[in-house]
């Protein structure tokens, strides 16, 4: 009964220090971030409206602004910067992925860790610079479709390890500096990582 309430009413989601935990992760392997745009949008209430504010005489003549409300999580995002409804919808979907990755945490079993495919596909053995046995390098650009799934897993793992970077890096066989560079590569991801560390009494990433 409680699980059904949590799935139906996102505002009943359990929270700890402002971080939302996905109750569906207890019963399903669904990962919103791995959905293509059409499937992700199918989970949303899509509102098209006429944007207000500055932007010249043409901005308000066409209803092109987009607001998405992701029904499973309750997250809402908007995009108003373009006069193209299609482009605003694409931008809103990208913001939704970012917000899901940065705010929705899933429990991670650090003792029996399963590394998801997007992370495995972004791990490489360095060729130019030899590293100690077993250590790899995590490489994923912000424009890569794997970026937010990878980012979400790193944040989940950071939360499970009470914000400690060395433990997270060791569990996926990368260096702490490599992990830090990924976390600092995007401002929303960095802010989410800083929040987790502060909540665990640790300083900001330098």
Instruction: Report how far apart, in Å, the C-alpha atoms of 147 and of each of 15, 189, 199 are.
Output: 25, 10, 24
Per-residue pLDDT of the chain (206 residues; tens, 9 = 90+): 333 333 333 443 445 444 555 544 433 334 899 999 999 999 999 999 987 655 555 555 668 999 999 999 999 999 999 989 999 999 999 999 999 999 999 899 999 999 999 999 999 987 766 556 679 999 999 999 999 999 999 999 999 999 999 999 999 999 999 999 999 999 999 999 999 999 999 999 97
| Three-state DSSP class for residue 54 | coil
Q: pLDDT at position 128, please? A: 64
Show the domains of the chain with their CATH numbers.
23-104 (3.30.160.20), 110-199 (no CATH)
Considering the entire predicted model, what is its pTM?
A: 0.81
- Report yes or no: 136 and 125 within 8 Å, Cβ to Cβ: yes
- Report yes or no: 66 and 85 within 8 Å, Cβ to Cβ: yes
The two three-digit tokens of residue 3, written as one number: 């699980």
Planar angle of CA 63, 64, 69, nearest 5 degrees: 105
| Three-state DSSP class for residue 137 | strand
């Amino acid at each position: 009964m409680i699980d059904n309430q949590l799935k139906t009413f996102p505002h009943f989601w359990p929270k700890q220090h402002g971080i939302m935990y996905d109750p569906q992760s207890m019963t399903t392997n669904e990962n919103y971030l791995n959905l293509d745009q059409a499937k992700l949008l199918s989970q949303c209430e899509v509102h098209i409206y006429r944007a207000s504010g500055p932007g010249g005489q043409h901005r308000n003549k066409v209803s092109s602004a987009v607001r998405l409300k992701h029904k499973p999580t309750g997250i809402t995002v908007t995009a108003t910067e373009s006069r193209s409804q299609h482009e605003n919808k694409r931008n809103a979907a990208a913001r939704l992925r970012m917000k899901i990755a940065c705010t929705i945490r899933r429990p991670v079993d650090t003792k029996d860790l399963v590394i998801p495919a997007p992370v495995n596909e972004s791990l490489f053995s360095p060729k130019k610079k030899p590293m100690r046995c077993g250590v790899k390098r995590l490489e994923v650009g912000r424009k890569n479709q794997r970026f937010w799934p990878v980012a979400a897993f790193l944040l989940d793992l950071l939360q499970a390890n009470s914000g400690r970077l060395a433990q997270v890096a060791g569990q996926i066989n990368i260096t702490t500096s490599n992990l830090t560079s990924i976390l600092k590569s995007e401002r929303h991801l960095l802010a989410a990582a800083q929040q987790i560390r502060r909540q665990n009494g640790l300083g900001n990433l330098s």
